[in-house]
Amino acid sequence: MKEEFEEYLRKLTCRGCFHRCPLNRPNCGRSSIFIKEAEEKFQEMVEKKND
């Protein structure tokens, strides 16, 4: 499941500044907010998939 989450993060970008780094390789501390948000959405998707 960790690999699936990493793949999911690779497709998303940070919105903390103009660099728009991929969330799997962020370059600043502001990305933690967006990673947490992505983790919550990922968990929701997994739960829906398992229902």
Residue 51: pLDDT band (50, 70, 90) is confident
24: number of Cβ within 10 Å? 16
Average pLDDT over residues 9-23: 94
37: number of Cβ within 10 Å? 13
- C-alpha–C-alpha distance, residues 23 and 34, integer Å: 8
Contacts of 38 (CB under 8 A, 6+ apart): 8, 9, 12, 23
Q: So what's the pLDDT on residue 22?
A: 95
